[in-house]
Amino acid sequence: MNLAVDAGNTQVKMGVFSAGRLLHVESVSHPGFAQALKALFKKYPGIGYAILASVGEAGHTIRDLLAIFCRVHVVSAATKTPYRNSYATTQTLGADRMALASAAFFRQPRTNTLVIDAGSCVTYDFMNDYGEYLGGAISPGLRMRYKALNAFTARLPLLEPQEPQDLIGNATESSIHSGVVNGLCGEMDWIIDQYKSRYSDLTVILTGGDAQFLSRRLKSVIFAHSNFLLEGLNQLLEYNKS
């Protein structure tokens, strides 16, 4: 059994895999991780390996906690990848993007695939039909956009994401929702269209914490997959065991 751990900025997502099949998924806050991990290994004592992708400062603590229970592989530039990595600065490529590229390589073989991960940031990662990772783009995420409007202005309130009722906001709050949500969806649709102009057979996969919220507002045909990153981590772990 394998344990895939995606440590984001606010939440830690864990997935238990057996023979490639996802048995269990849960998300916990960083303070609650130690207790949740203990309960997880009690429920699944057969876990022998873990893989960790971390984008925050808590990565070392999470790694040390995992090492109490099993062998741990931390995704880094030294991690072997099944695909050809043509990213110019491989040392700075995020562990989450490496895992997403791996999932695209295994799940969509010989397919031009764009993976959009809508989390704290929105990342766009492209794998071509030769199994070559070319890179993509990084953009502010949904909540980051709401926070920026509040943090860098004197009077705009901090709002929770909400679907705009109309294109034209008739008050401050509705104007913010229209600007943030429609702006991000417009960005996504435009980027997808640009990729499709180069790759007519493009497959688009949307994942991440805000995927479900955003997917119903996109005009492009996409496949929403909430556990795509965890799958990629598990595949990276299997690839690096040998």
Catalytic positions, written as ranges: 96
Query: Do the Cβ atoms of 47 and 60 come closer than 8 Å?
Result: no
Residues 6+ apart with CB under 8 A from 161: 142, 143, 146, 177, 180, 181, 210, 213
* CA gap 69, 1 in Å, rounded: 13
3-state SS, residue 123: strand
The CA–CA distances, whole Å, from 183 to 70, 115, 140, 218 equal: 44, 19, 11, 11
Sign of the Cα torsion 91, 93, 96, 102 reads: negative
114 token code pair: 């764009």
Q: What does DSSP say about strands 132-140 and 121-127: parallel, antiparallel, or unpaired?
A: antiparallel
